[in-house]
Structure 1
Amino acid sequence: GTWSSLVLPAVTIGVILTATNVRLVRTQMLDTLSAQYVMVARAKGLSEWSVVYKHALRNAAISIITFLGLQFGNLIGGLVIIELVFNWPGMGTLSIEAISQRDYPLLQATVSILAIMIVAVNLAVDLVYGLIDPRIRVT
C-alpha cells in the first residue's frame, strides 16, 4: 500500500509506548533538575537551555535509554499482534502461521532471529552508555 496505510498501525504502537516513556522522562528530569549540580549550574549563570539540555537531560538519559532498550522486546511482541490485526506480512505473521501449521523449524528460526535482534539492541544500548556518560567506558 501507500504511506497512508502505515498511519493507523504506527499510531497504535506509538500510543502504547508513549505514555510510559513520557512519564519516565518527566520523572527523571524532575529528579535531575532538583540535584545540586543543576543548582550550581544555574548559580553560575548558565542559560536555562544549557542547564536543561547539557546537564540535566544528559544525566537523565542513562535510565531513559535503558528503559527504551528494555521496551524493544515489548515492541516486538506488540508488532506480532499489530501484524495480525492489520493483516501485514512479517515475522509475527510468519510465526503465527508456523504455530498453526506446527512447522517447528520455521518457528525456531523466527524466534531465533527475534532473539538476536533483542540481543543486538541491548548491545547497542550498552555502547550508547559510553557515548552519553564518559565515566562509563569499555576497558
Structure 2
Amino acid sequence: MLYAFAIYFKIVPVVAGNKIKNIFLPAFTLSLGYAAVYTRLLRTSLIEIINCDYMKVAKAKGLSDNMVLIKHGLKNAILPCITLIGSNFASLVAGSFACETIFSWNGIGKYAVESIKAKDFPVIQGYILVVAISVIVLNLIVDICYIYLDPKIELK
C-alpha cells in the first residue's frame, strides 16, 4: 500500500505528518479487512430480511425496491454488523501496533511496543487498562444502539 499510494501514485506522503491526508493510508489499511466482512454480513442479513412480511407490505405500498431496502430493511439488517463492530474493536486496536510501526505513525500502539521492548511495566499496564476500558465502553455503546434500533429490545 505504501508503494502503490505513496510512491507510485503519489497521493499520500510516505512519512506521517500532522495533516488529515496523512491518516488516510493507515485508516484504509486497518479498515480494508473489516470492510469485506461487514459487507458480506450486511448482504446476508438483507437477503434474510427481504422475505419478511413488513418488507412485502412496504413494497405493496408502492415504494421502490431501493427505498424499501434503505428505509425498512437496513435498520434491521445492520444489527449483526453493530454487534460485530463491538467485538472486533479489540482486534482493531491490536492491529494498530503493526500499522503505526509500518506507517511511522506515533501513536499509543507504537508507544506500547516500545514499552514492551524496554520492559516498562507501568506503561504496559496503563495501556492494557486503557484498551480494556475502551472495549467495555464501546460494548456499552453497542448495547445502547441496539435499544434505539430494535424496539423489541427493552431494558429490564
1:16 equivalent among 25, 30, 33:
33
- Equivalent residues in 2 for 1:1-139 (5 A)? 1=17, 2-139=19-156
Q: Deviation per CA, 1:35-68, whole angstroms, max 9, x where unpaired?
A: 2331233234344344212321111121111111
AA of the residue aligned to 2:42: V
AA of the residue aligned to 1:85: I
Cα separation, 1, equivalents of 2:94 and 2:38: 17
Cα separation, 1, equivalents of 2:69 and 2:21: 36
Please give the TM-score of this superposition, normalised by the length of structure 1. Answer: 0.90
Residue 4 (structure 1) shift = 2.9
Q: Structure 2: where are the runs of 5+ without partners?
A: 1-16
Q: Deviation per CA, 1:80-107, whole angstroms, max 9, x where unpaired?
A: 2101111211111111111101111110
Which one has the bigger helix percentage? 1
Q: Runs in 1 of length 4+ with deviation above 4 angstroms? A: none
Cα separation, 2, equivalents of 1:64 and 1:18: 11
Identity %: 36
AA of the residue aligned to 1:133: D
Q: Structure 1: where are the runs of 5+ without partners?
A: none
Please give the TM-score of this superposition, normalised by the length of structure 2. Answer: 0.81
